[in-house]
Amino acid sequence: METALSFKLAKMLTNGPSLWRALRHRGPAGPYENHLHAAAAWLLAAQQAGGGGGYPHSFHLLYGWRPAYPETTGYIVPTLLNLHRRLGGAALRNSAAAALRWLETVQRSDGSFCDLQGRPQAFDTGQVLLGFNYAAEHAPELAKRGALERAARWLAASQEKDGSFIRFAYNAIPHSYYARVGVALAQAGRILGDDSLRQAGLRNLRWAVAQQQPNGFFRQLSFEAGMPPYLHTMIYVIEGLMDGAAETGEDSFRLSATAFATRLRELSEDRDYILRSQYREDYSVANGEKCLVGLAQWAAVCFRMARAELNKAWWREGDKTLGFLKSQQILCADQRLHGGLFGSAPPWGRYMRLAIPNWGAKFFIDAILEATEIP
């Protein structure tokens, strides 16, 4: 006990000064390319620090690098391959390849992937499946087809009859933001030519739509029952349904995502200016901080909506949100910090307190890539 306490104190003394550096080195937004390069540099530095190919869960300002995280390593792969097409160079592609190799080594024999506590999780497995699917379609020379099939079949076998996931769900409750698992299954079914997998994905997506309330908000959006959801999971369900519509052509998914997103955009325009960290089901603010990860996802969604609907209001919302995020990116000489985004603003906020999560850089890159595709 005393040894553990001494180690913890030593880590705090070693990493504590990074808080001051991180707070000092945020400032005005710059050109998109500068921010892209910085975010990519953070991901590459994180992977190197983690060793083995997986991206560390986060860099904590007091405790340092956390262990490599399969869930987000999986969905960082498409981002790195997209960014490689944009920026060129071997480093980004090599990073994605190393991540895929690492994921294959940590996959369980039944096809599942675990959380950091060693528990098999449907969501984590679905997010890795998104990475496997993308590699199979866009970088087949890197693809792990056997691992893809095992993950997809485990998910389908783990699904409830109504399309939800409970047995291997976080806190053993169903979550509507698992729509991102549904679309991963639908994609895998198409890639593998297996309609049973595709239908499993459709069941989950339709279950998610059924959770939408008349005001557009979704039930079962939070990590924990009774807790107002973070913007992060609120946007997850929009992403899952938008991707589901693109994958399947089922219009109900698009309409459901658009209804929720439109209500959030109206909140931002009329009341909140920049969306807040947590909302109750009546759209009242439960936590006035800002969830930077959720905002990065939100900006990307807005740019996608702008392209789909040719509506300048979406462009304005995405541009405003991305401008705020650019001003929050850490730019300094410390490679553990440079290019990263805190989980929250302020950094000591509830979501990922004093930590720089790897998925913040991922979604920030996605948002910039979406923004620069707008005519």
Structural domain total, the chain: 1
pLDDT value of residue 4:
43
367: amino acid identity, one letter:
A
Whether residue 375 has pLDDT greater than 70: no
Whether residue 222 has pLDDT greater than 60: yes
Percent of the chain with pLDDT over 90: 87
Using 50, 70 and 90 to split pLDDT, how confident is the model at 15?
Answer: low
- The rounded distance, in Å, linking the Cα atoms of 83 and 290 is 26
Whether residue 130 has pLDDT greater than 60: yes
Is residue 133 in some structural domain? yes
- The rounded distance, in Å, linking the Cα atoms of 93 and 139 is 10
| Mean pLDDT, all residues of the chain | 93
Mean pLDDT value across residues 117-145:
97
Is residue 232 in some structural domain? yes
pLDDT value of residue 23:
59
Using 50, 70 and 90 to split pLDDT, how confident is the model at 30?
Answer: confident
pLDDT value of residue 142:
95
Measured CA distances, 277 to 111, 173, 197, 263 (Å): 34, 22, 35, 16
* Residue among 260, 113, 129 at smallest CA distance from 186: 129
Is residue 96 in some structural domain? yes
- Helix-strand-coil percent breakdown of the chain, rounded to 5? 65, 5, 30
pLDDT value of residue 309:
87
Tell me if 200 sits within 8 A of 185, measured CB to CB.
yes
Using 50, 70 and 90 to split pLDDT, how confident is the model at 18?
Answer: low
Whether residue 10 has pLDDT greater than 60: no
- The rounded distance, in Å, linking the Cα atoms of 198 and 191 is 9
Angle, alpha carbons 41-48-337 (nearest 5°): 45
DSSP state letters, 120-187 = B-HHHHHHHHHHHHHHHHH-GGG--HHHHHHHHHHHHHH--TTS---TTSGGGS--GGGHHHHHHHHH
User: Which of helix, strand or coil describes residue 356?
Assistant: strand
Q: Which of the pair, 84 or 27, is modelled with greater confidence?
A: 84
Is residue 3 in some structural domain? no
Is residue 54 in some structural domain? no
pLDDT value of residue 245:
98
Whether residue 5 has pLDDT greater than 80: no
CB atoms within 10 A of CB 161: 6
Using 50, 70 and 90 to split pLDDT, how confident is the model at 225?
Answer: confident
- The rounded distance, in Å, linking the Cα atoms of 175 and 74 is 20
Using 50, 70 and 90 to split pLDDT, how confident is the model at 374?
Answer: very low
Q: Which residues pair with 291 in a beta bridge?
A: 344
Whether residue 26 has pLDDT greater than 80: no
For residue 121, the domain's CATH number is 1.50.10.10
Q: What is the pLDDT of residues 329-367, one digit of tens each?
A: 999 999 999 999 999 999 999 999 999 999 999 999 999
Whether residue 135 has pLDDT greater than 90: yes
Is residue 315 in some structural domain? yes
Q: In the block, which residue shows the tokens 């939408």?
A: 212
Whether residue 1 has pLDDT greater than 50: no
Q: What is the pLDDT of residues 232-280, one digit of tens each?
A: 999 999 999 999 999 999 999 999 999 999 999 999 999 999 999 999 9
Q: How far apart are the first and last CA of the chain?
A: 59
Angle, alpha carbons 145-148-149 (nearest 5°): 90
Angle, alpha carbons 56-373-338 (nearest 5°): 30
Is residue 83 in some structural domain? yes
- The rounded distance, in Å, linking the Cα atoms of 195 and 156 is 11
- The rounded distance, in Å, linking the Cα atoms of 252 and 254 is 5
Whether residue 77 has pLDDT greater than 80: yes
pTM for the complete prediction?
Answer: 0.94
Using 50, 70 and 90 to split pLDDT, how confident is the model at 27?
Answer: low
Whether residue 78 has pLDDT greater than 90: yes
Is residue 48 in some structural domain? no
Domain interval for residue 227 = 65-324+365-371
Tell me if 79 sits within 8 A of 366, measured CB to CB.
yes
